[in-house]
Amino acid sequence: MMDLRCAALLLLGSLSALSVSAEQEVENLSGLSPNPDREIFVVRENGTTCLMAEFAVKFLIPYDVLALNGIDLITEQASVSIPRGAQIVGKCGITESELHISWSDHSFTFRIFFSKEQHTMGSDKDAEVWEMNKVQLVYDTSDTTHFINAYNPGKRTASTHRLSALVTPAGRSYVCAAQQTLTMISSDHQKGITISISDLQIQPFDISSDFVFSEPYKCITDQREQLEQMLPLVLGLILGLIIVIIISVYHFHLKLNPPQPQLPRDRSLYKNM
């Protein structure tokens, strides 16, 4: 009887695990990007996309190396990117969401945390927005591919402090082609790790269509660059319009005031008149 009960419990546990995995799906679609440096990650719950992220990212990680004298320590720097085929785990919530990306046999894990809240944004008061409120990187300097001759190798954790980035109106995706830089402080003697993110589009909440970002909200840098690109065209159009107006006014003036025939100044020319 006990064996049957244990078997039933095991079966129920397996079915429960299957149902949980069926409720949430994570997909690494980086292979679909024409940019080899751009990653694409999707988290789906109950058959609907709840978090999407596309970006190119690079980490600059300082680490210690023993000097040639065998006493002093010198600092080297490892440049690390997320490779294709990285594993992801996602968490979607009403006011909090997370994306965890791991690679190189979990030698690296990059975690991004999002929150949604009421926030004063521009002229709007108490508008609902979402933001990236924390970024964390767990890395292992035992990974000899990136950390060559690292001193005292082992796992380290780096995190941002009081981060409020990518502030975006609720129901929209954040878009920024320009490079953005963040700094994390590592548990390895408070070293600063630099994250460079570009070609970014991300939305952790309120995705209305499966696998489709909502209306984009451009970062200030992109808006400024777009304005700088359009400014010469706008100035050219204004200058052309001014020239057309001046020519039109001149022709209109000639029609209203036709030129009068001038009498000769030499009085001898009047003898035949």
Give the pLDDT confidence of 210-221 residue by residue, as tens digits: 999 999 999 987
Kind plus residue range of the DSSP H or E element containing 255: helix 220-256
Same domain? For 176 and 52 the reply is yes
Q: Which domain holds residue 207?
A: 21-218
What is the model's pTM? 0.74
Residue 264's pLDDT is what?
57
Statement to judge: residues 169 and 248 lie in one domain = no
Residue 235 placed within a domain:
yes
Q: Are residues 88 and 200 in the same domain?
A: yes
Q: Which are the contacts of 38, defined by CB distance < 8 A and separation ≥ 6?
A: 30, 54, 55, 56, 199
Domain-embedded: residue 14: no
Mean pLDDT by 10 residues, the chain (273 residues): 42 39 80 90 94 97 94 95 95 96 97 90 74 97 96 96 93 95 94 96 96 94 55 60 73 69 57 54
149, 99: one domain: yes
Number of domains in the chain: 2
C-alpha span between 169 and 252 (Å, rounded)? 52
Nearest residue to 110 (alpha-carbon basis) of 146, 77, 135, 90: 135
Task: Clarify whether residues 181 and 207 are in a common domain.
Answer: yes
Domain assignment of residue 263, yes or no: no
- Mark whether 47 and 139 lie in a shared domain: yes
CATH number of the CATH domain containing 35:
2.40.160.110
Query: Which pLDDT belongs to residue 194?
Result: 97
Q: What is the DSSP letter of 85?
A: T
pLDDT digits (tens, 9 = 90+) for 72-81: 999 999 999 9
Q: Which long-range contacts (CB under 8 A, 24 or more apart) does 256-264 make?
A: none
